[in-house]
Structure 1
Amino acid sequence: MTVAVQTGTWQLDPAASTVALRHKTFWGLVTVKGTFTGVTGGGEVQADGSATGTVTLEAASLDTGHAKRDTHLRSADFFDAAEHPEITFAVRAAERLDGDAVRVTGRLTVRGVSKPVTFTAHLAGADGDALTLDAEFTVDREQFGMGWNQLGMMRGLTTVTASLRFRPTGA
C-alpha cells in the first residue's frame, strides 16, 4: 500500500495509540508484557515527505497487570520513574522507503541515558484526518542502566511495539 502524507504538524492521539513491551524472563520460559498508558507526542512532515518529532512515555504508567511487578519495574532497579519520569524517543529523521515502509532514526532516552535507534516502521494508513504508524524494534535494557538480573532470570533483548495515531494540528 502506498499512501500520501499531508505536510504540516501532527499531534499524537493518545486514545488511539499504544506502546507496549515484552521481555522473556525465567530463563525464557515466561514472557512479561506491559503497556504504557501515558503516551504523548507530535511531529512535523516536510514537503519532501521526511518527518521529525518526539514520542514521550510516562515511565510510571507501565501496566503489566501485576501490581507488585509494576512497582518493581518503576523502582531504581528498572525505570527509576521517581528520578526519570519520562522515556522519550526523539525522531531525527523518518524517510519513506518502498511501499508503506518508513526508516525511522532517532534517540531513545531512558533513565537519562540516550542511545541512537534506527528501525523500519510501516505506515498503516494516512488521510487528511489521521495517519497511523506501526513499529516493532528491540532494545538492550542494560544499555540504559537496567542491569537488574536476579539469578540470571532476565536475559536478552526487550521488544517494543508501537501503534501511533497522529492527527493534524488544528483538526
Structure 2
Amino acid sequence: MRHLFILPALLLASAALAAPVKYAVTDLDNVNVMTAENETDIENFTAITNKISGTVTFDAAAKMGSADLTVDGASIKTGVAARDGHMVSKDWFNFAANPTIRFKTTQVSWVSGDNYKVSGTLTMNGVTKPVSTTARVKLTPANDVTKGMKIPGDALAVSLKMNVLLSDYGVQHPVIKAGRVGNTLPISLKFIASQP
C-alpha cells in the first residue's frame, strides 16, 4: 500500500525537475554583445553594444523556451563619433527618442542538439515586425569556471542571428539608396543569462 503513495510523489518530483526556469540576462559587459554589420562596396563597419537586458524562460528537459530581450540602441557605437551621432538622429534609427530595441519570441521549436528555430517580433524605431531566426542555447550548471566569471548560478548561453531590413523600420536614408549602407543589416546577439 505504501508504494501507491510513493509513485505520485516520484511523478511530482520528476515534473518539478522538468519545469521551466526563468533566467535573467547578466549585467556582465564582457560576455554580452550585440553586433550589426554593414558591408557594402563603399563602406564597412561594425556597430556594437554590450547593453542587453531581459529574461529567458527555458525548460532543458522539454527543450522549450521563450525570451523577452531589450537592447539599448542609444549605446551602440561604430568607432566613429559622427556616425554614432547620425544613428541616434531621427534621420536614421531615432534612438534619441526611441532607444529601446526589443526582441520577443512567439514560438520556439527544438531542431537538434543545442539548436532551435525561433519566431518572434522585433521592435525598433517605434515599429514592430515579425522575424524568424535560429538560436543556439546551451545550459551549463554552476561550476568553478562560471563562478570565476562572476556568473551567479547556472549559465544559459544564447546566441542568435537575424537579417533586418532597415526599410521595414522606417529607415530610408538616401545613403542606403546610394549603396553606402546596406538595407539588409545582419544582427548578431550573444549573451549569458543566469538563475541563481
TM-score scaled by length of structure 1? 0.86
Question: Does 2:44 correspond to 1:19?
Answer: no
Amino acid at match of 2:162: F
From the two aligned structures, give the one with the greater strand fraction.
1
Task: After TM superposition, give the deviation of residue 48 of structure 1 in Å.
Answer: 2.9
- Confirm or deny that 1:138 pairs with 2:153: no
Structure 2 residue 99 is matched with structure 1 residue 85 = yes
| Equivalence for 1:164 | 191
Give TM-score, length-normalised by structure 2.
0.76
Give the deviation of 1:110 after TM superposition. 0.4
Q: Unaligned regions of 5+ residues in structure 1, if any? A: none
Deviation at 1:54, TM superposition (A): 0.9
Measure, in 1, the Cα distance between the counterparts of 2:50 and 2:190.
13
Which amino acid counterpart does residue 156 of structure 2 have in structure 1?
L
2:78 maps to 1:64: yes
Higher CA-based Rg? 2
Kindly state the Cα deviation for residue 157 of structure 1 after the two structures are TM-superposed: 0.9
Which of 47, 50, 53 is matched with 1:37 structurally?
A: 50
Aligned residues: 162
1:106 equivalenced with 2:133 (yes/no): no
CA contact (8 A) 2:32 2:51 kept: no
Shift of 1:36: 1.9
CA distance in 2, matches of 1:18, 1:163: 5
Shift of 1:166: 1.0
Give the letter for the 2:122 counterpart. L
Instruction: For structure 2, list consecutive stretches of 5 or more residues without a partner in the other structure.
Output: 1-17, 142-153
1:71-121 deviations in Å (ceiling 9; x for gaps) = 001111111012212010011222221122111111000011111111111
Which aligned segments of 4 or more residues in structure 1 are displaced greater than 3 angstroms?
A: none
Alignment-mate amino acid for residue 159 of structure 1:
P
RMSD after superposition:
1.9
User: 8 Å contact 1:73–1:79 — kept in the other structure?
Assistant: yes
1:6 is displaced (CA, Å) by 7.7
Structure scoring higher RCO (CA < 8 A, sep ≥ 6) equals 1
CA distance in 2, matches of 1:99, 1:141: 32
Taking the aligned partners of 1:134 and 1:144, their CA distance within structure 2 comes to: 23
Q: What is the CA–CA distance in structure 1 between the aligned matches of 2:42 and 2:19, rounded to whole Å?
A: 45
CA distance in 2, matches of 1:163, 1:14: 13
8 Å contact kept, 2:167–2:183 = no
- Deviation of the 1:14 alpha carbon: 3.4
Q: Flag the structure with higher helix content.
A: 2
Match of 2:173 among 131, 148, 157: 148
* 8 A contact 1:63–1:70 mirrored in 2: yes
How much does 1:44 deviate? 1.3
2:8 maps to 1:8: no
Percent identity over the alignment?
Answer: 23
